[in-house]
């Protein structure tokens, strides 16, 4: 009997927490929200933004196994192309400063990035202070129009789930 | 986790495949829908969505009789292409990775001296692949022996197993100095990749061989040993060559003339 | 058969907690050493691209080999039905588990990417001896755990012999696997021989028993329990046999190599010209590890408990020296890619490689030893592993 009661209590508590978690608005004034800078190059990511926020790791893992083991080096889902588009205009990198594309979200979500122990965080052929190489220089005009946007709390809560 | 598809299913036989790629290349060039993909040599180029094929076996011929004493151009070219610090500039020379090095040999009896570059021999039966606990050390379909840094745990058993001392451990953080094309990092083992990034780009050559040719020595020749028409195959048919530690019967991808 | 009372040690004295705290301190040092190595990379160690396995591997392999040997006493009791050894079995099992834990921790914390241990547990290459060892080590924990349970729980006591036999066979395979880590390497002259598997098994018998004897004697002396001479003399004789067998295998291994001309150079390195490695071989492995203990144990000195302890300590020291020579000495000798030619390069080809262990490596290794002892010290406090008395009269009753 005691056991059944204990089990019941556990189930109820879990359910209550889950319900509370679903409805409670994310706390304001917690960790600083990630700064999501729009990519320097291109209008649209290779997949839907929502899809990428939740699944970029799966997409990258799948591509990396194909690229490393089989030598299939398609551009669409390659980390190199992510970096080419998303490197910050100030640091030239996706992970050098805390507001850079990858780091900003990952530190908010407290998920360690294992990519950049080995991978360069900068586009090919670039130096630290020259975010735009010959290939991307013609996108320069777009930079002026773009401002850094703070991602909304709702959006992040969605991703976290 | 990730299963390799058997190559034979996807890839038609060698010349059929070449004809197919030739046609594809013509189409691509005609329609200009594949910018950035340059098929230098039709026989060895493959489109970027195509897996490396066992129809190809990349190999290298080292002509030690042409290898110049004191010349280090292949080593420098490798370090520049792949982004590893030359040992002379390293603060920890004994711990510095060396993907390729010049080896000086001398016969103590006859005083005969020989020079040659030594690097990963890209064995067909690589001992490093046999001993790797996680399968991170692997041989690609086209014969290139690589380390998958995503599954390398840095146990260094492959370094114990390699008869050529071809492998190095990255002993310290590289602080984002890597080349975009050549990921490499702390705690993982690495070695010569036959410039796999260049091969996959369709260059059909390695940085060391290009440098050797540029210096006018022509001691290094890279190519497809499976293609009887390739220059390396022709030269290998004519020149007497040896494999280093042939007693181990590992069927090496690097063959030496003049040792 | 007379029954034996097993009792936990009280473990409330200042001496107990001092021992516990001292060992804990070394575990802490080990953890700090790992943190340092993990943070900066292997650049802070004495290991390099020539000597790729260093002092941590000496400690790790020694502990793993000794772990399998520490199970000996239990195996003799339940597999070979020697009732005298029965009361000694639980300590034997827990000690072997603890040593295995210590050894494995040192091994995995030395990995270049120790944070990726999960990869080693999820990706397997079954041609690798390392992969086999992953299974052998986990199986060892499982089987010895079950075996210990059958010893401690009356309800499952009937399965003790079955579990003991399984654990015995498993640990023979396990040490074969550990020896084959080196035996299956073609590149280096001193490895690549099937000799290493049986040699490691017999070494495990000797090292494990020596550690067991020291732990047993210390536990009884420090808790004021009686440990009769009957037990000590029996185990001492066993140790003599094992140490002599180790010496035999070492002699056969080197004599075989000396017969083959292609091994002359590397044998000359270990036996004559290797500097520190030669000293470690002759003074450490042979004299301290084999000859001196044999002389002590076979002479009149072997009747005194103090001298038996000294002999055990010498066997352990000799064992560490042997691992050092086997693991590091073999790497120090350059690879012979072009037999008969002198080799020279920027990558240190053709020269004897030197190795100076760094402080973090030493403390990582000692941390493994400390954790093994700490687990043992804690286990005898919370579990009924030690007989309340092992005086001669009690032991004699078991025999009849």
Asked if residue B2 belongs to a domain, the reply is no
Number of H helices, E strands in chain C: 16, 3
Which of C112, C331, C343 faces B187 most closely, judged by CB atoms? C112
Asked if residue B219 belongs to a domain, the reply is yes
Do B134 and B212 share a domain, yes or no?
A: yes
In chain C the domains, ranked by start, together with CATH numbers, are 6-399 (1.20.1630.10)
Domain boundaries, chain A: 32-160
Q: Which of residues 172-201 of B touch A (CB under 8 A)?
A: 173, 176-181, 183-188, 196, 200
Number of domains chain B contains: 2
pLDDT tens column, B190-200: 999 999 999 99
Contact list, A72 vs chain B (CB under 8 Å): 48-51
B92, C48: Cβ pair inside 8 Å? yes
Contact list, B105 vs chain C (CB under 8 Å): 338, 341-344
Asked if residue B208 belongs to a domain, the reply is yes
C349, B101: Cβ pair inside 8 Å? yes
Q: Where are the alpha helices (DSSP H) in C123-192?
A: 129-152, 160-183
Contact list, A71 vs chain B (CB under 8 Å): 51-52, 140-142, 196, 200
Low-confidence spans in chain B with pLDDT less than 70: 1-44
Asked if residue B3 belongs to a domain, the reply is no
A117, B176: Cβ pair inside 8 Å? no
pLDDT tens column, A38-88: 887 777 899 998 999 999 999 999 999 999 999 999 999 999 999 999 999
How many residue contacts between B and C have a Cβ separation below 8 Å?
A: 174
pLDDT for residue C24 is more than 70: yes
- Give the three-state DSSP class for B220: strand
Do B171 and B120 share a domain, yes or no?
A: yes
pLDDT of residue C221: 93
Do B100 and B37 share a domain, yes or no?
A: no
Do B45 and B68 share a domain, yes or no?
A: no
Give the span between the Cα atoms of B193 and B148, in whole angstroms. Answer: 11
Residue of A nearest to B141 (CA): A70
Domain interval for residue B213: 55-257
Asked if residue B1 belongs to a domain, the reply is no
Residue of B nearest to C188 (CA): B163
pLDDT tens column, C365-395: 999 999 999 999 999 999 999 998 888 888 8
Subunits in contact with chain B (3 or more CB pairs closer than 8 Å): A, C
Strand stretches in chain C, DSSP E: 6-7, 342-345, 386-387
Q: Which residues contact C384 (CB under 8 A, 6 or more apart)?
A: C6, C7, C8, C90, C152
pLDDT of residue C399: 72
How far is B249 from chain C, CA to nearest CA, in Å?
11
How far is C139 from chain B, CA to nearest CA, in Å?
17
Mean pLDDT value of segment C115-134: 94
DSSP-derived pairing of the beta strands C6-7 and C386-387: antiparallel
pLDDT for residue C352 is more than 90: yes
pLDDT of residue C237: 94
Asked if residue B143 belongs to a domain, the reply is yes
Asked if residue B4 belongs to a domain, the reply is no
pLDDT for residue C17 is more than 80: yes
Do B113 and B96 share a domain, yes or no?
A: yes
B178, A118: Cβ pair inside 8 Å? yes
Neighbouring C-beta atoms of residue C330, cutoff 10 Å: 21
Q: Check which CATH number belongs to the domain holding B185 and give it.
A: 3.30.70.20
- Give the three-state DSSP class for C148: helix
DSSP-derived pairing of the beta strands B58-63 and B254-257: parallel
pLDDT of residue A159: 56
pLDDT of residue B48: 87
How far is C338 from chain B, CA to nearest CA, in Å?
7
pLDDT of residue C393: 85
Do B131 and B222 share a domain, yes or no?
A: yes
ipTM, two decimals: 0.93
Q: Give the best residue of C44, C47, C114, C128 to mutate against chain B (max B CB count within 10 A).
A: C128
Taking the C-alpha atoms of B230, B232, B235 and B240 in order, what is their torsion angle to the nearest 10 degrees?
A: -140
What would the 3-class secondary structure string for chain A be? CHHHHHHHHHHHHHHHHHHHHHHCCCCCCCCCCCEECCCCCCCCCCCCHHHHHHHHHHHHHHHHHHHHHHCCCCCCCCHHHHHHHHCCCCCCCCCCCCCCHHHHHHHHHCCCCCHHHCCCCCCCCCECCECCCCCCHHHHHHHHHCCCEECCHHHHHHHHC
pLDDT for residue A12 is more than 70: no
B146, A68: Cβ pair inside 8 Å? yes
CB B247 within 8 A of CB C339: no
B165, C337: Cβ pair inside 8 Å? yes
pLDDT for residue A7 is more than 70: no
The mean predicted confidence, pLDDT, of chain A is 73
How far is A142 from chain B, CA to nearest CA, in Å?
23
Give the span between the Cα atoms of C337 and B22, in whole angstroms. Answer: 42
The answer to whether residue B102 neighbours chain C at the CB level (below 8 Å) is yes
Return left, alpha or beta for A27; rule: phi > 0 is left, psi -120 to 50 is alpha, else beta.
beta
pLDDT of residue A126: 52
């Amino acid at each position: 009997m005691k056991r059944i009661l204990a089990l019941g209590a556990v189930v109820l508590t879990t359910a209550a927490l889950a319900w509370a978690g679903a409805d409670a608005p994310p706390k304001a004034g917690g960790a600083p929200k990630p700064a999501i800078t729009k990519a320097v190059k291109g209008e649209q990511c290779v997949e839907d933004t929502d899809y990428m926020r939740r699944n970029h790791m799966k997409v990258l893992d799948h591509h990396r196994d194909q690229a490393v083991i089989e030598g299939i080096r398609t551009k669409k889902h390659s980390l190199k192309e992510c970096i080419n588009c998303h490197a910050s205009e100030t640091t030239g990198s996706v992970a050098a400063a805390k507001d850079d594309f990858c780091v900003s979200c990952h530190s908010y979500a407290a998920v360690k990035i294992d990519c950049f122990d080995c991978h360069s965080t900068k586009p090919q052929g670039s130096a630290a202070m020259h975010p735009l190489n010959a290939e991307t220089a013609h996108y320069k005009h777009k930079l002026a129009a773009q401002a850094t946007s703070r991602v909304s709390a709702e959006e992040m809560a969605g991703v976290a789930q | 986790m990730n299963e390799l598809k058997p190559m034979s299913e996807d890839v038609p036989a060698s010349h059929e495949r070449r004809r197919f790629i030739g046609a594809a290349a013509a189409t691509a060039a005609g329609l200009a829908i594949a910018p950035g993909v340059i098929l230098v040599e039709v026989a060895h180029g493959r489109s970027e969505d195509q897996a490396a094929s066992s129809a190809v076996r990349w190999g290298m011929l080292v002509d030690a009789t042409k290898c110049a004493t004191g010349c280090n151009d292949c080593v420098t070219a490798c370090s520049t292409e792949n982004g590893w610090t030359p040992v002379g500039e390293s603060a920890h020379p004994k711990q510095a990775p060396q993907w390729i090095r010049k080896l000086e040999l001398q016969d103590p009896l006859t005083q005969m001296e020989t020079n040659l570059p030594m690097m990963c021999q890209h064995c067909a039966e690589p001992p490093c692949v046999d001993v790797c606990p996680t399968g991170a050390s692997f041989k690609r379909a086209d014969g290139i022996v690589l380390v998958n840094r995503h599954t390398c745990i840095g146990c260094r058993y492959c370094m114990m197993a390699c008869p050529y001392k071809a492998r190095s451990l990255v002993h310290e953080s590289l602080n984002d100095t890597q080349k975009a094309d050549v990921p490499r990092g702390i705690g993982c083992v690495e070695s010569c990749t036959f410039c796999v990034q260049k091969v996959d780009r369709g260059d059909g050559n390695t940085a060391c061989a290009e440098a050797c040719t540029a210096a006018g020595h022509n001691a290094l020749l890279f190519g497809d040993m499976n293609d009887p028409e390739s220059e390396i195959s022709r030269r290998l048919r004519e020149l007497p060559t040896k494999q280093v530690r042939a007693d181990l019967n590992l069927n090496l991808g690097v063959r030496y003339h003049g040792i | 058969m007379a029954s034996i009372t097993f009792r936990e040690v009280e473990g409330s004295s200042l001496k107990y907690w001092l021992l516990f705290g001292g060992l804990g301190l070394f575990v802490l040092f080990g953890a700090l050493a790992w943190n340092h190595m993990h943070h900066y990379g292997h650049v802070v160690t004495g290991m390099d691209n020539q000597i790729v396995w260093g002092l941590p591997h000496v400690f790790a392999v020694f502990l793993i080999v000794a772990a399998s040997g520490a199970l000996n006493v239990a195996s003799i009791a339940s597999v070979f039905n020697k009732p005298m050894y029965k009361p000694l079995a639980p300590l034997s099992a827990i000690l072997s588990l603890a040593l295995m834990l210590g050894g494995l921790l040192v091994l995995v914390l030395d990995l270049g990417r120790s944070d990726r241990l999960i990869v080693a547990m999820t990706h397997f290459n079954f041609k690798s001896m390392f992969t086999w060892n992953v299974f052998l080590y986990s199986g060892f924990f499982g089987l010895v755990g079950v075996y210990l349970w059958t010893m401690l729980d009356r309800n499952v006591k009937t399965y003790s012999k079955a579990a003991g036999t399984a654990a015995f066979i498993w640990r023979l395979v396990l040490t074969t696997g550990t020896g084959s880590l080196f035996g299956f390497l073609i590149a280096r002259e001193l490895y690549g021989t099937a000799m290493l598997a049986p040699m490691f098994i017999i070494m495990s018998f000797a090292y494990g028993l020596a550690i067991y004897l020291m732990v047993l004697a210390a536990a009884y002396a420090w808790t004021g329990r009686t440990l009769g001479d009957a037990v000590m003399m029996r185990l001492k004789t066993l140790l003599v046999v094992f140490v002599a067998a180790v010496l035999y295998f070492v002699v056969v291994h080197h004599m075989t190599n000396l017969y083959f001309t292609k091994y002359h150079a590397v044998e000359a390195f270990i036996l004559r010209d290797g500097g520190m490695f030669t000293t470690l071989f002759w003074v450490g492995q042979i004299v301290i590890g084999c000859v001196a203990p044999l002389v002590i144990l076979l002479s009149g000195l072997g009747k005194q408990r103090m001298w038996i302890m000294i002999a055990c300590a010498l066997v352990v020291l000799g064992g560490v020296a042997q691992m050092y020579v086997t693991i590091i000495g073999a790497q120090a000798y350059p690879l012979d890619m072009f037999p008969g030619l002198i080799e020279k390069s920027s990558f240190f080809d053709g020269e004897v490689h030197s190795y100076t262990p760094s402080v973090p490596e030493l403390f990582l290794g000692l941390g493994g030893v400390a954790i093994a002892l700490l687990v043992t010290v804690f286990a005898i406090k919370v579990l009924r592993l030690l007989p309340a008395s092992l005086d001669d009269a009690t032991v004699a009753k078991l025999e009849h």
